[in-house]
Structure formats: structure tokens, C-alpha cells
Amino acid sequence: MPPRSTHTYLKTHQLSGKLLRFSLRDEDARLRTQAAAARAGRSAKTLVKEGEIRLTLVALRKGTVLQSHQVGGATSIQVQRGRVRFSIEDASLDLGAGELVALGPGVAHSAEALSDCGILITTTLEA
């Protein structure tokens, strides 16, 4: 069996073996500061990009809108802090901290920050 390769994560984190560990609170604090200063009102960081899975932490300033978009694989959005209005087609949900929504592959969706917020997005690549 060939040796397991070491993957570099954003030049500062390495995945070698079975585990990556993050403080979502610390990562969110950095992104929150960046979003506050950003013209677009948002900041994001991919925490994990391994195989078919992507985990991305996003900070949004109140009023920031993520226009309708879709991804090929399944997606989940977990609100870490604040409130977000999440919309698909003609339906919308207001989600708060601790709530999660999951979408099947290819479902178009948008989001609007009802307050300053942080969301954790998990996506999978198309099957």
C-alpha cells in the first residue's frame, strides 16, 4: 500500500492522517472582521477541501445578499450566529443560530443576512 500523501490546507494547515481541528468561534471572529471591512459585506474561508467534500465558513454583514445560485452536489447550510433568510424558488425560511437546512443536488437558492451572521456551508461534488 502506498504511503498516505500529506495535503496542504491553505498553506497553514496540513491534513496528514485522520483529523483537522478548527475553532469555529476563532475562524468566525476573523471572518467577521473582514466582512465588516469588505465592500461586498462578506468574507469566506474554505476549511476543508478533501475528496468530494467542501466545508466553507462564511461571515455576512446585515443586509448582504447572496444571489441565487446552485451547486451540482448536495448542500447543507448551518447558521452559526445571527439570522439568515434562505430562499428556494418561491419559498423562504428565516433561520437562526443552531438551525440547518439541507438541499438536494442542483437546487437553486439565495440568502440574505437579516443580521450580521455566520454560516457553515457543506457541499459535495456532483456524483
Beta bridge partners of 78: 100, 120
Please check whether residue 18 lies inside any domain of the structure: no
Cell 450580521, residue located: 116
Amino acid 49: pLDDT: 87
Alpha carbon 109 to its chain centroid, in Å, reads 14
Please check whether residue 127 lies inside any domain of the structure: yes
Amino acid 50: pLDDT: 83
Please check whether residue 82 lies inside any domain of the structure: yes
Please check whether residue 87 lies inside any domain of the structure: yes
- Split into its structural domains, the chain has a count of 1
This prediction has a pTM of: 0.84
Query: Containing domain of residue 87, as a range?
Result: 45-127
Please check whether residue 125 lies inside any domain of the structure: yes
Please check whether residue 118 lies inside any domain of the structure: yes
Q: Is 49 helix (H, G, I), strand (E, B) or coil?
A: strand
CB-CB neighbours of 121 under 10 Å: 19
Please check whether residue 126 lies inside any domain of the structure: yes
Amino acid 18: pLDDT: 76
Please check whether residue 53 lies inside any domain of the structure: yes
pLDDT (tens digit, 0 to 9) for every residue of the chain, 127 residues total?
433 433 444 444 444 557 888 999 999 999 999 999 999 999 999 998 888 899 999 999 999 999 999 988 999 999 999 999 999 988 999 999 999 999 999 999 999 999 999 999 999 987 5
State how far the alpha carbon of 108 is from the alpha carbons of 16, 36, 48, 98, 118, in Å. Answer: 35, 27, 23, 23, 20
Residue-wise burial string across 51-67, b where 16 or more C-beta atoms lie within 10 A, e elsewhere: eeebbbbbbbbeebebe
Return d(Cα 36, Cα 31) in angstroms, integer.
Answer: 8
**CATH of residue 52:** 2.60.120.10
Amino acid 127: pLDDT: 57
Amino acid 17: pLDDT: 53
